[in-house]
Amino acid sequence: MQIQEILIIKNGSESYGISTDDINQISRVPSLMPLPFRPSCTRGLCGVGGSIVAMVDLNLLLNVDEVDMEASSSRLISLNDTHDTNALLVSEIYNTVTIKESHIDYLDNKDDPVLAIYKYKDSLVQVLSLDILISRINGINIKPKEIHNGKIKDQNTVEEDSSRFLVFAMGNENFALEIDFLREIILPDVNYTEIAGSSKELMGLITLRDELVAVMDLRTYYGFTGIDSDKNRILIASHNNETIGLLVDEIIDIKSILKKDVEYIDGASKKNKISGVIHDEDSLVSFFDREIIDMIFDENKAYIESNRNDMTDDESQDKEDSKEVIVFKLSGKEYAFDVKYVAEIIDIVTSTEVAYSDDDVDGIINIRGQIVPIVSLFDKLGIEAIANEDSKIIVCTIADNKVCFVVDSISDILDVLSHEDQEQDDDIFKSVLHLDDGKRLVLSMDVEDLVLRKAK
């Protein structure tokens, strides 16, 4: 490796050099955001030029006393290429010099961070290898994301295989259903047509977009006493072209669960009516999937309406042209966007502010070791934000990156047919959803366009 130019850094009587090819910019030390349980040699997170980066103390990397951040001579060096998620905190910047080959001696020690000695005036400069220095950071698992004018910088992250589950409550227990079986979620304030001679858990038939759907009280089916409240929801589940409604107490979350955390019970227990358990942090969540779904459909097959053969050409076309959306509230008004962007929904947590970030970035949160920015839909839409203990965080994947939105509450996840989705000429709201036969109007946005759009 031939070095053309170095930046000389002073630390007391010692001089160190870094190749200028590795340097992006030099700035004064910004405000530090402390990071609990931070990795060795890092001081926390900070915002530099719109990027959230880990502040790495060069002195700690060199096993000497940490840099005094308050000193007027201290500086922050942001880095390029593979190290651009880190920035070096140094005691003093001295000078930039062009290397004279006759004055530099390269060392042949692969494990030593000092890769060369450079004779500069009357002193010796230890030229450092950033690759070896940065590798000394123990257990760093921060994956900062760059946010510039609302655009997320592309970072290549590798995640384990996972599946998305809808987590819901019945009685005092949580259950989960793999989201592939879920068609939509609706409110339970619908008209039921009772079915004579049916089981006690079967509530009756409802009409859902010209389709007859049998609804069963899943709480009764599992032996729970139902709690009637405005949080009740009906899960519209589909399998093998058949549909059934399942009444539950409350929707909790949509979560991406790693496959290693999903434990199946050999030969799903018909007595317990579960397929297995999910190891979710400190708790276990019972889940059911294909085998239990088949059992529920078989037990109610006399009342389940299959539209496979009865559907007209027009209705079939409507089904093909439908899309699934998530409906949520901001300041009491409903909005929606395509559910395909949603990775999970979590309870509100305290976020950490990031210095020098964009105005519409409310801060960052840690989701299973990944630092994820919170983009404010309130700011994007010009709405006043009001704190709400029932608020939820929608975690989305946009342009292969995670980003969060805080909303007041989640209203529904449902299928919208093409005739219910009416386009309009607006920069933000691309269409208006005409739900409940036009009695409920919901503004729908292209959330990817909204997040990635550059500030004007």
Segment 272-296, tens digit of pLDDT: 688 888 988 778 898 887 777 788 8
pLDDT higher than threshold 70 for residue 319: no
Q: d(Cα 244, Cα 225) in Å, to the nearest integer?
A: 21
State both tokens at 325.
């959306």
- Same domain (yes/no): 400, 445: yes
* Domain containing residue 221: CATH number: 2.40.50.180
CA atoms within 13 A on the CB side of 100: 5
Percent of the chain with pLDDT over 90: 17
Question: Per the confidence metrics, is the pTM higher than 0.75?
Answer: no
Which segment, 141-145, 173-177, 197-201, 210-214, is predicted with the most confidence on average?
173-177
Question: 314 versus 92: which is more confidently predicted?
Answer: 92
The pLDDT, as a whole number, for residue 153 is 36
- Same domain (yes/no): 138, 30: yes
Q: How confident is the model at residue 1 (pLDDT cuts 50, 70, 90)?
A: low
Residue 208 is assigned to a structural domain of this protein? yes
pLDDT higher than threshold 70 for residue 176: yes
- Same domain (yes/no): 30, 128: yes
pLDDT higher than threshold 80 for residue 146: no
Residue finishing a domain among 291, 310, 329? 310
Residue 253 is assigned to a structural domain of this protein? yes
Which segment, 188-192, 194-198, 255-259, 431-435, is predicted with the most confidence on average?
431-435
- Same domain (yes/no): 328, 448: yes
Q: Show the domain range for 190.
A: 162-310
Q: Where are the beta strands (DSSP E) in 3-72?
A: 5-11, 14-19, 23-27, 42-48, 51-57
- Same domain (yes/no): 305, 324: no
- Same domain (yes/no): 271, 167: yes
- Same domain (yes/no): 340, 402: yes
pLDDT higher than threshold 80 for residue 357: no
Q: How confident is the model at residue 364 (pLDDT cuts 50, 70, 90)?
A: confident
Residue 195 is assigned to a structural domain of this protein? yes
Residue 154 is assigned to a structural domain of this protein? no
Per the structure, how many domains does the chain have? 3
- Same domain (yes/no): 215, 274: yes
Residue 275 is assigned to a structural domain of this protein? yes
The pLDDT, as a whole number, for residue 443 is 93
Residue finishing a domain among 310, 334, 365? 310
Q: Which of 214-223, 307-316, 406-415 shows the lowest mean pLDDT across its residues? A: 307-316
Q: Where are the beta strands (DSSP E) in 270-408?
A: 274-280, 283-288, 323-330, 333-338, 342-347, 361-367, 370-375, 392-398, 401-407
Residue 434 is assigned to a structural domain of this protein? yes
The pLDDT, as a whole number, for residue 170 is 92
Residue finishing a domain among 310, 341, 358? 310
- Same domain (yes/no): 230, 290: yes
- Same domain (yes/no): 192, 101: no
Residue 368 is assigned to a structural domain of this protein? yes
- Same domain (yes/no): 9, 82: yes
- Same domain (yes/no): 281, 380: no
